[in-house]
Amino acid sequence: MPTSTVDRHRPGRRLLPVCAGLLSAVAGFFALTALGAGGAAGTARAPAAAPARALTPLQAYSQQAATREGLGNIAGARPVQELVPVAPAEFDRPIAESRAYAQARLRAMAKDVDRLIGALAAGSRSRSEQLWLTAYGTYLRLGGVYGEFGQLDTAIDGTPGGLARGTANPDFTGLHRIEFGLWTGRAPDGLLPAAVALAGNIRRLEKVVPTVAITPLAYATRAHEILEDAQRDFLSGADVPWSGEGVFATAAAVAATEEVLTTLRPLLDGRGSTIEQVDFGLTRLRAVLAEIRHAHGGGWPTLGQLSQLASERLDGALGFVLEELAGIPGELETQMPPTIPALPAPAGR
Amino acid sequence: MTRLDRRAFVTRSAAVLGAAALGAGADEAIDGRGASRRAQLGPAALDEQGQRAALSISVPFTGAHQAGVLTPAQAQATLVALDAIAADRLTLQEALMALGTRANQLAAGDVNPLLEIDDPPADSGILGPTNAPDGLTVTVGFGASLFDGRFGLAAQRPLHLTRMPSFPTDDLDPAQTHGDVLVQIGANQRDTVVHALRELLRATRGALAVRWTIDGFKAAQRGLSPANSVRNLFAFRDGTANPDVADAALMDRLVWVRPGSGEPAWAGGGTYQVVRIIRQHVEFWDRVGLSEQQNMIGRVRDTGAPLGGTEEFDDPRYDLDPNGARIPLDAHIRLANPRTPATADQRILRRGFNYHRGVDAAGTLDQGLVFVAFNQNPGRQFAAIQTRLAVEPMIDYITPVGGGYFFVPPGVRGPNDWAGSGLLAA
């Protein structure tokens, strides 16, 4: 697997903490042994005062296991802390850029939806499906900010999962209501009310976006969560059960992620090699998507049309980049983790 | 099929194994007297001896309540939801009788009869010519749909039994939700559970059809003491705040339906079972920082202690942390059980299992929790808790996809009694 090759060639940034962690764990363990700690699991027969080297590997393991299960980290190794917080003000520009980008996208989407309304009114199913896809893709590319839209997001992009009576519930509306109607043979003009409501919500959102509150943490987290959502909701088919357009949706999520990363790049410069690994992974993921598109004559296949090999390559390339993206929020922390106050001891203990 | 009492079963096992290897059976194998004998046997032989001894453990199946509720959760379980396809009430009654009496036989330990050689064997035989009890419990429950018009049971519906609602973050799949009858099978070995499932379906063929089924397993006890709760697939200890099943008065307040109390007469001594098949997006979870994981749960992952504490069973003392400086206000443990006088009667008895069943279309593992809870009134208890949990940050990492509400009728009076006799044979 290419994944493991890449792992082996990973630059040394992560090796250092691992070595340090190992050393302190070993040191912690020797300290414990000297104190006679652990052993509660019942296998450490060696007297407490015996030198550490007298323990068999099993005894050593048992002591460490008992310590970690019972005492956590307090007697053993402390986790390595290599964080240098980013000043929150450094996020002002990326977030402002992202809002402007989202607003432009929403303006484009309003036009997409207007065209969709026209096609639905004309009764053209194939044209309506095509325009639905365009509008959906535009919405997915909002990426960096869509987690913050709350109720409006539910009205635009909600799925029927949590609703009583599912697709029959009147609160099931928006993009997926139209998807449901188009791909299950409903009359296109019957979907007009949903499309008109959608157009209204998009214009409402366009007005809200400049003022929507986004914290640095939420924004940094979007860098990996857009594609986490793609894996959970798009490639699994969960969010696109009728159209099956999970590959298309994933490609849109890749574009949205790149948009976020572009704004964050100045902050990530000089903060370790995570971004290099992410870039490597994204390049490969884009290449896999391009191959798939090429193999299907330039269009996006539905999930059901993907061959097993293409599925595996796509899932694998996405999984790899997700493992790397998971490091981004940690690189962009704006504060040291707060110390958790100790639980007051009960009276009389 | 012949029923075998436990003493006879153990004696027979001992004879087969040789008295020297097994001694007096299950009891000696787990107490100190067998120590010198253990020292002479290698680890592999000891494992085998321990497993054989455990196979002969039989959980009593008669009493005021069904087994499998307060019984400590076994290592393995299968839940199977069945729809009643019986044409009439009598056929349904016969099927439930066959289900219950066969379950009693298997829970007691059972010798397969020898039939004519040209007939299909009476038992699949996958456990051998005898069926060791292996801690088997079979717990039967009824869904709200059983009380519709089909079998004339509408007037007998338990007071609080409804179809499980869809909670706001659910994504319920009808093919793994609800059902007329739920059978919860638990045992210590997987083959015992599989065998019981096969026999019970055979006994009810034509009257009960499988709607959905799911297999679960308990994590091994790896903590410092047997009191420590075992871990779920998010790696956190699960079940820490469970009410004490040895406290009969507490069980009467939280789990068992009291005679009277507006419930139909047959329902006293029963309980409501809530099943939720909760997919856990484990790859996503594994990509979340440990401190964020711990803040979502409210506990330290390694020890299970509430944040800021040192031991699993430390009282989190929310009263001293009103602003969530120690345990965030939306942490799972805080929303699930605020530990206030007002929420004391909302507590539930959890008895869930982890599950693993392959991968989804995106190539990610389909793993999660078969959440099982017993309570006296799902509206007052489970649903109140679930409603509070709608805002927990953990919702991004889980998707409830199935399950249902069921009513577990009271226990059986003898080997020929069966769960639901009070409802159908009354």
What is the ipTM metric for this complex? 0.83
More confident residue, B39 or B340: B340
Average of pLDDT values for A268-297? 94
C-alpha–C-alpha distance, residues B426 and B420, integer Å:
10
Check A72 against B364: CB less than 8 A apart: no
* Chain A residues closer than 8 Å to B307 by CB: 340, 343
- pLDDT surpasses 50 at A21: no
pLDDT at B224: 84
Among B303, B317, B321, the strongest candidate for a mutation testing the A interface, having the largest count of A CBs within 10 A, is B303
Check B309 against A343: CB less than 8 A apart: yes
* Chain A residues closer than 8 Å to B224 by CB: 40-41, 66, 69-70
Consecutive H or E run containing B141? strand B137-143
Please say whether the beta carbons of B368 and B398 come within 8 A.
yes
* Chain B residues closer than 8 Å to A288 by CB: none
- pLDDT surpasses 50 at A229: yes
CA atoms within 13 A on the CB side of A201: 20
Check B287 against A326: CB less than 8 A apart: yes
Distance from CA of B40 to the nearest CA of A (A): 18
Average of pLDDT values for B25-50? 56
For residue range A312-328, list pLDDT tens digits in order: 999 999 999 999 999 99
- pLDDT surpasses 80 at B411: yes
* Chain A residues closer than 8 Å to B305 by CB: 72, 343
Strand order in the sheet with B2-3: B2-3, B110-111, B130-131
pLDDT at B36: 53
Give the least confident one: A24-28, A124-128, B149-153, B242-246.
Answer: A24-28
C-alpha–C-alpha distance, residues B124 and A341, integer Å:
59
Distance from CA of A327 to the nearest CA of B (A): 8
Place of tokens 């991004």: B396
* Chain A residues closer than 8 Å to B168 by CB: 162
Check B364 against A232: CB less than 8 A apart: yes
- pLDDT surpasses 60 at A51: no
Average of pLDDT values for A67-75? 67
CA dihedral A112, A118, A121, A126 (to 10 degrees): -60
Looking at the DSSP assignment, which residues form a beta bridge with residue B140?
A: B183
pLDDT band per the 50, 70, 90 thresholds, residue A2: very low
Distance from CA of A73 to the nearest CA of B (A): 8
A215 Cβ partners below 8 Å, 6+ apart? Answer: none
Give the closest residue to A157 by CA, choosing from A171, A138, A136, A142.
Answer: A136
B232: buried, middle or exposed (CB in 10 Å: 19+, 13-18, 0-12)?
buried
Residue of chain A with shortest Cα separation from B397? A232
Among B173, B302, B307, B367, the strongest candidate for a mutation testing the A interface, having the largest count of A CBs within 10 A, is B302
Distance from CA of B28 to the nearest CA of A (A): 20
Residue B117: DSSP 8-state: T
B356: buried, middle or exposed (CB in 10 Å: 19+, 13-18, 0-12)?
middle
- pLDDT surpasses 70 at B18: no
Evaluate the CA torsion angle B105, B111, B112, B116 in order and state its sign.
Answer: negative
**pTM > 0.90:** no
**At B189, which amino acid appears?**
Q
* Chain A residues closer than 8 Å to B281 by CB: 232
- Sequence length of chain B is 426
- pLDDT surpasses 90 at A295: yes
Task: Classify B323 as helix, strand or coil.
Answer: coil
The answer to whether A304 contacts chain B (CB < 8 Å) is no
- pLDDT surpasses 50 at A35: no
Among B360, B367, B389, the strongest candidate for a mutation testing the A interface, having the largest count of A CBs within 10 A, is B360
Check A162 against B166: CB less than 8 A apart: yes
Please say whether the beta carbons of A222 and A170 come within 8 A.
no
The answer to whether A28 contacts chain B (CB < 8 Å) is no
pLDDT at A82: 67
The answer to whether A1 contacts chain B (CB < 8 Å) is no
Evaluate the CA torsion angle B25, B26, B30, B32 in order and state its sign.
Answer: negative
Beta strands in B188-284 (DSSP E): 208-217, 271-280
Alpha helices in B57-122 (DSSP H): 89-108
- pLDDT surpasses 60 at A55: yes
Residue A335 tokens read as 């504060």
C-alpha–C-alpha distance, residues B339 and B315, integer Å:
9
C-alpha–C-alpha distance, residues A224 and A310, integer Å:
23
Pairs of CB atoms within 8 A across A/B: 111
Check A231 against B303: CB less than 8 A apart: no
pLDDT band per the 50, 70, 90 thresholds, residue B37: low
CA dihedral B106, B110, B115, B121 (to 10 degrees): 40
Of B171, B222, B361, nearest to A303 by CB-CB distance is B361
Please say whether the beta carbons of A221 and A329 come within 8 A.
yes
Check B284 against A330: CB less than 8 A apart: no
Among A247, A323, A340, A349, the strongest candidate for a mutation testing the B interface, having the largest count of B CBs within 10 A, is A340
The answer to whether A346 contacts chain B (CB < 8 Å) is yes
C-alpha–C-alpha distance, residues A132 and B90, integer Å:
54
Place of tokens 């004879």: B15
- pLDDT surpasses 90 at B417: yes
User: Other CB atoms closer than 10 Å to residue A58's CB: what's the count?
Assistant: 10
Give the least confident one: A33-42, A116-125, A265-274, B27-36.
Answer: A33-42
Check A231 against B283: CB less than 8 A apart: yes
Beta strands in B153-311 (DSSP E): 181-187, 208-217, 271-280
C-alpha–C-alpha distance, residues A77 and A93, integer Å:
39
Residue of chain A with shortest Cα separation from B308? A342
* Chain A residues closer than 8 Å to B283 by CB: 231, 319, 322
pLDDT at A18: 36
pLDDT at A81: 62
For residue range B191-242, list pLDDT tens digits in order: 999 999 999 999 999 999 999 999 999 999 998 888 899 999 999 999 999 9
Please say whether the beta carbons of B9 and B129 come within 8 A.
no
For residue range B72-95, list pLDDT tens digits in order: 999 999 999 999 999 999 999 999
Please say whether the beta carbons of B367 and B282 come within 8 A.
yes
Check B316 against A343: CB less than 8 A apart: yes
Place of tokens 């990492």: B397
Please say whether the beta carbons of A173 and A197 come within 8 A.
yes
Average of pLDDT values for B108-116? 92
Looking at the DSSP assignment, which residues form a beta bridge with residue B217?
A: B76, B354
Of A162, A315, A325, nearest to B362 by CB-CB distance is A315
Among A154, A332, A343, A349, the strongest candidate for a mutation testing the B interface, having the largest count of B CBs within 10 A, is A343
Q: What percent of chain A has pLDDT over 70?
A: 79
Residue of chain A with shortest Cα separation from B281? A232
C-alpha–C-alpha distance, residues A296 and B221, integer Å:
51
C-alpha–C-alpha distance, residues A143 and A257, integer Å:
7
More confident residue, B103 or A43: B103
Average of pLDDT values for B288-307? 96
pLDDT band per the 50, 70, 90 thresholds, residue B26: very low
* Chain A residues closer than 8 Å to B227 by CB: none
Evaluate the CA torsion angle B115, B121, B122, B125 in order and state its sign.
Answer: positive
pLDDT band per the 50, 70, 90 thresholds, residue A64: confident
The answer to whether A315 contacts chain B (CB < 8 Å) is yes
For residue range A157-208, list pLDDT tens digits in order: 999 887 888 899 999 999 999 999 999 999 999 999 999 999 999 999 999 9
* Chain A residues closer than 8 Å to B237 by CB: none
Q: What percent of chain B has pLDDT over 70?
A: 89
Mean pLDDT of chain A: 83
Q: What percent of chain A has pLDDT over 90?
A: 62
Task: Classify A255 as helix, strand or coil.
Answer: helix
The answer to whether A82 contacts chain B (CB < 8 Å) is no
More confident residue, B45 or A48: B45
Find how far residue B90's CA is from the centre of its chain. 29
pLDDT at A49: 52
User: What part of A 132-191 touches B (C-beta under 8 Å)?
Assistant: 159, 161-164, 166
User: Other CB atoms closer than 10 Å to residue A100's CB: what's the count?
Assistant: 12
Give the closest residue to A91 by CA, choosing from A297, A345, A282, A268.
Answer: A268
pLDDT at A13: 35
pLDDT at A142: 87
Task: Classify A183 as helix, strand or coil.
Answer: helix
Looking at the DSSP assignment, which residues form a beta bridge with residue B406?
A: B143, B273
* Chain B residues closer than 8 Å to A162 by CB: 166-171
Mean pLDDT of chain B: 91
Please say whether the beta carbons of A237 and A303 come within 8 A.
yes
Of B165, B303, B363, nearest to A311 by CB-CB distance is B363
Give the closest residue to B362 by CA, choosing from A170, A262, A237.
Answer: A237
Give the closest residue to A186 by CA, choosing from A164, A167, A158.
Answer: A167
Give the closest residue to B179 by CA, choosing from B214, B226, B155, B219.
Answer: B214
What are the counts of helices (DSSP H) followed by strands (DSSP E) for chain B? 13, 12
Average of pLDDT values for A79-105? 88
Residue A57: DSSP 8-state: H
Please say whether the beta carbons of A21 and A79 come within 8 A.
yes
CA atoms within 13 A on the CB side of A141: 22
pLDDT band per the 50, 70, 90 thresholds, residue A62: confident
- pLDDT surpasses 90 at A3: no
Contact residues, chain B to chain A, C-beta under 8 Å: 165-172, 222-224, 228, 281, 283-284, 287-291, 300, 302-303, 305-311, 314-317, 320-321, 325-326, 360-364, 399
For residue range A246-259, list pLDDT tens digits in order: 999 999 999 999 99
Beta strands in chain A (DSSP E): none
CA angle B58, B61, B63 (to 5 degrees): 135
Check A344 against B317: CB less than 8 A apart: yes
Looking at the DSSP assignment, which residues form a beta bridge with residue B83?
A: B209
* Chain B residues closer than 8 Å to A228 by CB: 284, 287
pLDDT at B5: 45
User: Other CB atoms closer than 10 Å to residue A73's CB: what's the count?
Assistant: 15
- pLDDT surpasses 50 at B157: yes
Check B302 against A73: CB less than 8 A apart: yes
Alpha helices in B120-273 (DSSP H): 190-203, 248-254
More confident residue, B3 or A149: A149
